Chains A and B, each alone.
Chain A
Amino acid sequence: MAKVLMKGNEAIGEAAIKAGCLNYFAYPITPQSEVAEYLAKRLPEVGGVFLQGESEVAVSYMLYGAAGCGERVFTTSSSPGVSLMSEGISYMAGAQCPVVLVNIMRGGPGLGGILPSQADYLQATKSIGHGDFRMLVFAPASVQEAVEMTMVAFPLAEKYRNPVMILGDGLIGQMMEPVEFPDDLRSEPTNKNDWATTGMDKRGSDRPNLVKSLFLDPEKLNEHNLMLKAKYERMQQDEVRFEPYNLDSEYKVLIVSYGTMSRVCRTAIDNLKADGLEVGMVRPQTVFPFPENAVYEATAKSGCNAVISIEMSMGQMLEDVQRSVKGRKEVHWYGKCGGEVPTPEEVMDVVRSLAD
């Protein structure tokens, strides 16, 4: 397929269609409303459905219902809307329903602002809802990567029978970039007849499937949670993704940064290299699981004096970076959280001050 110029929000919508997802339930909120606008036009063309819920709470249970029937389904929202969905997401995690959730983050807390932010990192990676659960969280840094991650999210959600989140900041949704779509992945979910309410007649079974998150027997609930725990451990083992940048050099400072913030850092690293200062970067592409080993190994370089987490939040990823560095090097933080994206010059100043 030829390259087209697309807004991130439009491209995420198209990627879901290309991944064979024809069910989209959502409620509009800036800066991701273009997904709904795009899919309201596109889904009817391919026999799909967009239904706007009366709120994000309703949407989360529409997702639960559709996912429980074994349908590919997804939603998009932004920070305050995602908070509203948290109860339904917890139910889907408990009942092991595959679903793809897209959070195009805006500033917070509360209504915050409509400009880009990465302030939902902890919510996404540690605890998006009540109960003991985790989900795979992808963090795209370009529109092309948002497309690829959205397409791979559906089969992974089905493989693990778990929610998968695409965590992008407002810029990922709003900026336009040329994109190319890989071939369609319109396969049917392979394992849905084993667990989903696909219909006994339809699947030729004499046993009903039950989708639930209620386990009143304490032993059963403990057993269920141990099984979920093992699943999250498998994700941590098999699904870590990251991109190294300039790690072959004799870098003095190591940056850890993700999403569009990492692109500012990349420009800063290129400029500093031209000035004679080498800086390396580990860019997490999954923030759960976090690329702990990659960060730890990158700090082994003898000339590396310091590590810095650069993010559009007040140090939410910093805790994961500190955990990964294990005290081997000093760990610093730089960021903004009002909607302004730090400039390459600001990043360069901070990094220079750590190099000596």
Chain B
Amino acid sequence: MEIKFEGIIVIVGNYGSGKTEVAVNLAIHHRQAGLKVRIADLDLVNPYFRSREARQILKIKDIDIVLPPERYLQADLPVLSPAVAGMIRQPSQVTILDAGGDDVGATVLAALADAFDGQAIHMLQVINPMRPFTDTIEGCLQMKAAIEKAARLEVTGLVGNAHLLDDTRSRDILDGHRFTADLARICGLPLEFITASVDLLSSLDSQRLTCPVLPIRRQLVPPWQKAAEI
């Protein structure tokens, strides 16, 4: 089982579901597989911990990153770079759009409706069942409906991102896998992949998994921690 997307991937999900960490690691994963990758930070609603924080490592890995102009990076304003519509119209081999949290954060996608017109996209909803509001199937379905309405796009697949940062145990990942697989069945959507921190990979019983695993090397860390090496 392998994770391999081509074309446009839109990452959505509730606040703090781990969209940005997933987007950054997914970008690096595809780049390491030899594909040309471009990523855009569309998070217009969150002031801290956005994919722009990982711009250094993305540049080093030869991943094209589309951001608002440098002078507006810390502005408390919803700045959408005009380059984003262009990158949707002429996508790179892999084009990742990291949207903001909840339906509010997904609203920006509706503003890009003209650019999306006629494009095939993967819209992945990231789910961490260890977060408030998405710890029940009902909560996840509500979030999915709200995001789809705001984005005027439909979710095409799910990503299981169960974790408690440094306190995650392999059991949490397996429980999260079961939860997201159940949700996928109810939605009639594929569970595209789940994630696991690299140091937990070896302890996971892959026989029990029905989908591939994206190894996470954490990049968005507080100032007293070091980002994982890639």
Query: A residues near B, CB below 8 A?
Result: 3-7, 10, 14, 30-31, 34, 37-38, 41, 113-115, 170-171, 174-178, 260, 263-264, 266-267, 339, 341-344
Contacts and interface: CB of A to CB of B under 8 A. Distances in A.
Nearest to B166: A178
A174 B135 CA distance: 20
B131 interface: yes
Contacts of A31: 47-48
Contact of B131 (A5, A30, A177): A5
Contact of A171 (B16, B48, B164): B48
B48 A4 contact: no
Contact of B16 (A5, A30, A115, A266): A5
A176 B163 CA distance: 11
A267 to B, nearest CB: 4
A177 B74 CA distance: 23
B16 A176 contact: yes
Given A30-B76, A176-B16, A178-B166, 17 more contacts: A4-B131, A4-B135, A5-B16, A6-B16, A10-B16, A31-B47, A34-B15, A115-B74, A170-B47, A171-B222, A174-B49, A175-B48, A176-B165, A260-B222, A263-B222, A339-B74, A342-B223
Nearest to B223: A341
B146 to A, nearest CB: 12
B74 A114 contact: yes
B167 A114 contact: no
B130 A3 contact: yes
Interface in B104-154: 128, 130-133, 135
A4 B176 CA distance: 13
Interface of B: 15-16, 47-49, 74, 76, 128, 130-133, 135, 163-167, 222-225
A5 B128 contact: yes
Q: Pick the 6 closest A-B CB pairs, nearest first.
A: A174-B48, A178-B164, A341-B223, A267-B224, A178-B167, A263-B224
A202 B224 CA distance: 53
Contacts of B164: 3-5, 178
B47 A114 contact: yes
Residue from the set B48, B76, B130, B223 with the largest chain A CB neighbour count within 10 Å? B223
B22 to A, nearest CB: 14
A240 to B, nearest CB: 25
B222 A114 contact: no
Residue from the set B15, B132, B167 with the largest chain A CB neighbour count within 10 Å? B132
Contact of A113 (B74, B128, B222, B225): B74
B165 A178 contact: yes
Residue from the set A10, A34, A115, A176 with the largest chain B CB neighbour count within 10 Å? A176
Contacts of B128: 5
A41 B15 CA distance: 13
Nearest to A175: B222
A37 B16 CA distance: 13
B142 to A, nearest CB: 11
B224 A264 contact: yes
Contacts of A343: 223
A147 B143 CA distance: 26
29 contacts: A4-B130, A4-B164, A5-B131, A5-B165, A6-B16, A6-B131, A7-B15, A7-B16, A10-B16, A10-B132, A34-B15, A37-B15, A114-B47, A115-B47, A115-B48, A170-B47, A174-B48, A175-B48, A175-B49, A175-B222, A176-B49, A176-B165, A177-B165, A178-B130, A178-B165, A260-B222, A267-B225, A339-B74, A342-B223
A208 B208 CA distance: 68
A339 B225 CA distance: 17
Contacts of B74: 113-115, 339
Given A114-B76, A266-B224, A6 B47 contact: no
Given A10-B132, A31-B47, A170-B48, A3 B222 contact: no
Contacts of A10: 16, 132
A264 B47 contact: no
A339 B48 CA distance: 11
Contacts of B133: 41
Given A114-B76, A175-B49, A178-B164, A4 B224 contact: no
A176 B128 CA distance: 13
Contacts of A113: 74
A189 to B, nearest CB: 27
Contacts of A339: 74
B223 A174 contact: no
Given A30-B76, A263-B224, A339-B74, A3 B49 contact: no
Contacts of A3: 130, 164, 167
